[in-house]
Amino acid sequence: MPRNPRYDILFEPVRIGPVTAPNRFYQTPHATGMGLARPKAGAALRGLKAEGGWGVVCTEYCSIHPSSDDSPYAYLSLWDEEDVKALAPTVEAIQAHGALAGIELWHGGSHSPNRLTREPMLSPSEHSAVFWQPGQARAMDKADIAAFRDWHRAAALRARRAGFDIVYVYAGHDYLPFQFLSPLTNQRSDEYGGPLENRARLLRELLEDTKEAIGDRCAVALRLAVDELKGPKGITSEGEGREVVAMLAELPDLWDVNLAGGNGNDSRSARFSAEGYEEDSIAFVKSLTSKPVVSVGRFTSPDTMVGQIKRGIQDFIGAARPSIADPFLPRKIDEGREDEIRECIGCNICRSANNEGTPLRCTQNPTMGEEWRRGWHPERIQPARSEARVLVVGAGPAGLEATLALARRGYRVTLAEAGRALGGRLLRDSTLPGLGTWIRVRDYRAQRLEPMANVEVYRESALGAEDVRELGAEHVVIASGSRWRRDGVGGHVETPPGLNGAGRVLTPDDIFAGQAPEGPLVVYDDDHYYMAGALAERFLLEGREVTLVTPGTMLSTWTQMTDEQAFIQARLMELGLETVLTHRLSAVGGQSITVDCIYTGRQKTLACGTLLLVTGRLPERALYDALMAEPEALKEAGIASVTRIGDCLVPSSVADAVHAGHRYARELEEPDSVKMPRRERTTVLDPEGVRP
């Protein structure tokens, strides 16, 4: 199908200093959780983005020196020539598809804990360690600044030797060059402190050093946070952020502009931001420079992208998360297949991977992070091994993904759903405040399934064991989901005495089924992800008084991993939520509950008309158990396998459910050699690599 002409502007080449990007699609630097320990996996991931049509593909943050060590998290490094060799395959993988390869040189300053290297932390001024660890960052003297410039220049030269086309000077996300820039972290009184011109001196020097060293062949990009979102005492887009851009306007070959205050601001989840949410803060940049500008904003709509270019907001469409959800987004637009884009839902499960120190994952794209490890490609899948028929029971995220991937392989698939609507838990979760985009997980798969001739979908079809045996499928997949527990068992395990039958106790399932709380509402969160906070927000918005009790030290504790926790707690506090932290549920009475402090055991009693339990979940496995209870009947029906997937096997995130469905489909009837993921192993150093 030909490209829609209104999107032609997105495919224009753009000059960036000495190099030219083939189009306006720019995968900005983003972490993968792979780093220097998994160079093959990282190269495969970046190469796939280039294959998908991204004109520029950048790496994650790349340390320039041992004093910028982010262990145990996964980062790249350019400390020596061995790192050059390790990064060269990534460059080759990107450039093989005609894209430009970019690298983000990084020094974290007081944000570098240096747990592995044990180097002292560096900072413009004496500064406490950012991550609440013993010790402080020491103030850099003139010799330190000169050494830092030398490290940066040497890393830039190594980047050029590795073959990169674009090399970043990184003054974003509160890292060292930005720490010099901000008056909140720079209290120096010499030529590197005081007025903005002095505080910007190091940034200017880094740009000049880098351009002098490699600017004849490589473009030099500046990634700058134009607003640190800490009020008028810091850098703001109306104040010194604007002044810095004006001061350095023509020095870099490209401006990559964003928001600081940590990654939580630059990659806000859909719960707290809309598409293009950074525009108000960064729109001024193009008016101050003739150089190309790129920024991000979770862009998934081609029309929104075109609007960004035509309205003069930016020259490129910057993307991290949308390029993860669909690495082939540009190619789909180019081929007139924009209705096939796998849109990012902004759940930030990708951010959780990096924050946990594990390889990248994605709710929408189950192949993300598996490009090298399992050999999965988002747009290609191996053909079926046989003409076997497969029955999938349950049209939630796991069942829908399994059905789609099986059908793409060529299997004949029957999908049976007990309800009228497809989507399972997505139908409920997407009704919660800020989670409307989550329905895209259902929509993408349901839309793709509709025209497939080898798929039959039966709605309002609750199946029993005999029904399954009569359908004549050789393989049966049970994706019947899970239900919330009513016994109070959650992350802290204990079952509160006297819970069953005492007072009015509801679960999220009851709320979604239409039951309304009565009297004072207490939400008990021992799940620690989004559900308790989102339900509390819903009822607060309805005008109810709500108290949230949790054994956690903060609300929705695990959402620290998705960079949402501070936003969640701030919003709920603004809405008037009463909180009882570090307490577990111990007893339920008629109109009250008793909670214990997890540290002291001291008890307190809270008025409670309705207790809403958000603790653990249990698999809905009745159909599976009924089938497995009669193995001879399965054999007589010609059923070769019965498999549980997703929440029916083990309740977890939507991302895990989608991955489970995809994995089942990929591995059906495949040999064990296909099912075993590859690992990158550390090799023994040769004698020349061993210090005497």
Confidence (pLDDT) at 353: 87
Q: Closest Cα partner for 659 from 647, 671, 643?
A: 647
**Is 99 part of a structural domain of the chain?**
yes
User: Residue 692's pLDDT band (boundaries 50, 70, 90)?
Assistant: very low
Average pLDDT over residues 266-279: 93
Site of tokens 């499960």:
349
Task: Specify if 690 maps to a domain.
Answer: no
Shortest CA distance to 368 belongs to which of 350, 383, 348, 356? Answer: 350
Are 214 and 309 within one domain? yes
Across residues 321-348, what is the average pLDDT? 97
Q: Are 640 and 606 part of one and the same domain?
A: no
For residues 89-99, average pLDDT? 98
Q: What's the pLDDT tens digit per position in 405-440?
A: 999 999 999 999 999 999 999 999 999 999 999 999
Residues 101 and 54 in one domain: yes
516 has pLDDT over 60: yes
Q: Long-range contact list for 512-515, CB < 8 A, 24+ apart?
A: 512/428, 512/431
Residue ranges in 410-491 assigned as alpha helix (H) = 425-429, 440-449, 465-470
User: Is 449 a member of any domain?
Assistant: yes
Q: Is 445 exposed, middle or buried (0-12, 13-18, 19+ CB in 10 A)?
A: buried
Looking at the structure, tell me whether residues 133 and 55 fall in a common domain. yes
Q: What is the pTM of this model?
A: 0.95
The string of DSSP letters for 214-268 reads: HTTTSEEEEEEEEE-SS-TTS--TTTHHHHHHHHTTTSSSEEEEEE-SSHHHHT-
User: What does the pLDDT look like over 175-187, one tens digit per residue?
Assistant: 999 999 999 999 9
The answer to whether the Cα torsion of 588, 594, 596, 601 is positive or negative is negative
Q: Which of 617, 633, 651 is the last residue of a domain?
A: 617
In a domain, 639, yes or no: yes
Contact 489, 483 (CB under 8 A): no
Mean model confidence pLDDT for the chain? 94
Do 609 and 626 have their domain in common? no
**Is 676 part of a structural domain of the chain?**
no
Question: Which residue range forms the structural domain that includes residue 451?
Answer: 389-481+620-671
One domain, residues 44 and 92? yes
With 50 as the cut, is the pLDDT of residue 121 above it? yes
- What CATH number does the domain containing 395 carry? 3.40.50.720
Say what the pLDDT of residue 690 is: 47
Same-domain pairing of 441 and 311 = no
- 383: DSSP letter: P
The verdict on 27 and 170 lying in the same domain is yes
Q: Catalytic residue among 61, 75, 168, 175, which?
A: 175
Of the candidates 583, 550, 546, 543, the one whose C-alpha atom is nearest the C-alpha of residue 565 is: 550
> Which of 300, 298, 329, 349 has its CA nearest to residue 658?
349
Does residue 364 lie in a domain region?
Answer: no
**Which of 390, 499, 404 has its CA nearest to residue 443?**
404
State the average pLDDT over residues 123-147: 87
Co-location of 341 and 414 in the same domain: no
Asked whether residue 360 carries a pLDDT value surpassing 70, the answer given is: yes
Q: CB-based contacts of 683: which residues, under 8 Å, 6+ apart? A: none
Average pLDDT over residues 197-214: 98
Task: Check whether residue 596 and residue 635 sit in a common domain.
Answer: no
Average pLDDT over residues 56-82: 96
What's the mean pLDDT in 648-673? 97
What is the percentage of the chain residues whose pLDDT exceeds 70? Answer: 96
- Tens of pLDDT, residue by residue over 488-510, are 899 887 776 666 555 689 999 99
| Separation of alpha carbons 611 and 638, rounded Å | 47
**Which CATH number is 293's domain given?**
3.20.20.70
Query: Has residue 617 got a pLDDT over 70?
Result: yes
Tokens describing residue 384: 């079926």
Q: Which of 504, 533, 509, 508 is closest to 521 using CA atoms?
A: 504
| Domain final residue pick, 554, 588, 617 | 617
Residue 217 domain flag: yes
Same domain, 402 and 473: yes
Alpha carbon of 291 to those of 104, 294, 676: distances in Å?
19, 10, 48
Residue 127: pLDDT band with limits 50, 70, 90: confident
Name, in order, each residue with C-beta under 8 angstroms of 406's C-beta and a sequence gap of 6 or more: 384, 390, 392, 413, 665, 668
State the total domains in the chain.
3
Give the chain's largest Cα–Cα span. Answer: 86
Angle at 470 between CA 464 and CA 472, to 5 degrees: 125
For residues 153 and 224, membership in a common domain is answered with yes
d(CA 487, CA 496): 7
Q: Domain holding 501: CATH number?
A: 3.50.50.60
Of 555, 585, 617, the one marking the end of a domain is: 617
- Would residue 597 count as lying in a domain? yes
175 is catalytic: yes
